[in-house]
Amino acid sequence: MLDHFIWGAVRRISPEAPVPIVEVTKETTFPGGAANVARNLSAFTSHAYLMGRVGRDSAAGELRRLLHEEGVNTDPMLESSTLPTIAKTRIIARQQHLVRVDRETIQKLSADELDEVSQGVEAMLPELDGLIIEDYGKGFITQAFVDRVLGQAKAAGKLVTVDPSPHNPLSWRGATLVKPNRLEAFAAAGIQDQRTPGPPLEDRRLLEVGEQLLDQWAVGKVLVTLGEQGMMLFQRDSAPHHIPTRAREVYDVSGAGDTAIAFLTLAMAVGLSAEAAAEIANRASGIVVGKLGTARVMEDELLQSFED
């Protein structure tokens, strides 16, 4: 996806309707969606590859340009002659998010596209340490896609992490770890969230959801992100592990989940335990929510968070 930001100032209300008039001062674009995950990786590795679907339009060209500048390899991306590149325009005035305009067409991956994806993954697997499946419910991630790619990754002994979509319930059997946020986790488990006050380790319903999802998704690890309460790691044959938040100031939560899955996977890929990887992901997310817009974490910022 391409994230487009229009920045401006509001000094008056429109005479045509009770809405603010935004006087534009600048426009910026950033890689969004799974592209934001890739650019978070690229600050720490020169071997980040992005696979997804874009259109034959200016948004795709801009997305490729931005990613190339940040060292992300976009060669595996599929180009559609019928679908537009997903683009989201946010209008912001005085650090207040006023409105978002989306351009997208939801269409499932075709059989031919699935074959192309599968062949691409098969060719790349020997060079990869891990894969991240980032699902936004836009049609690219289907059960057929998941079964094919997870089967290939498992046969090659590769780490696979998943950021699921609550609008696209799938079986993740064969994945290493699935990382939903609290809303997504409760929705997937079919359990009503009553938001029990108190520490997460004393939240009976949250603990129930975590244990249920381990079985429901048939995976060894589930990491539930909890916003201001940090993260909770569930593992088979282990007690739940809570990681408190490291965020100091929160300006913009957009992209925090992208940052979390990127750093979690990168840390696990280099051999750290799930607990240590979750701590790094938590710190990285705490940094990125202190920035406006779709942002990424740099090496010096992450190191400083541990020194602090």
In a domain, 99, yes or no: no
163 is annotated as an active-site residue: no
The per-residue pLDDT for range 199-228, each reduced to its tens digit, is: 999 999 999 999 999 999 999 999 999 988
Whole-number pLDDT of residue 291? 61
Name the 3-class secondary structure at 164: coil
Averaged pLDDT of the chain = 91
Residues recorded for the chain: 308
The per-residue pLDDT for range 109-162, each reduced to its tens digit, is: 999 999 999 999 999 999 999 999 999 999 999 999 999 999 999 999 999 999
In a domain, 172, yes or no: yes
Please choose, from the candidates 1, 74, 6, the residue with its C-alpha nearest in 3D space to the C-alpha of residue 293.
6
Whole-number pLDDT of residue 157? 95
Whole-number pLDDT of residue 53? 96
The per-residue pLDDT for range 242-284, each reduced to its tens digit, is: 998 765 554 444 567 888 999 999 999 999 999 999 999 998 9
Helix or strand run (H / E) with residue 8: strand 2-13
Whole-number pLDDT of residue 293? 55
In a domain, 148, yes or no: yes
Give the C-alpha separation, 80 to 75, whole Å: 14
Q: Does 65 score more than 60 pLDDT? A: yes
Q: Does 95 score more than 90 pLDDT? A: no
Confidence of residue 305 (pLDDT cuts 50, 70, 90): confident
End-to-end CA distance of the chain: 34
In a domain, 283, yes or no: yes
Asked if residues 3 and 88 have their Cβ atoms less than 8 Å apart, the reply is yes
Who's near 195: CB < 8 A, 6+ residues apart?
Answer: none
Residue spans of alpha helices (H) in the chain: 34-42, 58-69, 111-124, 143-156, 182-189, 204-216, 256-269, 274-288, 299-307
Whole-number pLDDT of residue 251? 46
In a domain, 39, yes or no: no
Give the C-alpha separation, 45 to 72, whole Å: 9
- The residue from 3, 203, 252, 258 that is catalytic is 258
Token reading at 108: 């499932």
Over pLDDT 90: what percentage of the chain? 79
Please choose, from the candidates 223, 218, 245, the residue with its C-alpha nearest in 3D space to the C-alpha of residue 233.
223
In a domain, 8, yes or no: no
In a domain, 83, yes or no: no
Q: What is the CATH number of the domain that holds 180?
A: 3.40.1190.20
Whole-number pLDDT of residue 227? 84
Whole-number pLDDT of residue 252? 45
Q: Which residue has the higher pLDDT, 181 or 291?
A: 181
Please choose, from the candidates 170, 142, 173, the residue with its C-alpha nearest in 3D space to the C-alpha of residue 160.
173
The alpha carbon of 43 is separated from its chain's Cα centroid by a whole number of angstroms, namely 16
Work out how many domains the chain is built from and give that number.
Answer: 1
In a domain, 201, yes or no: yes
Domain that holds residue 295: 106-305
Q: Does 292 score more than 80 pLDDT? A: no
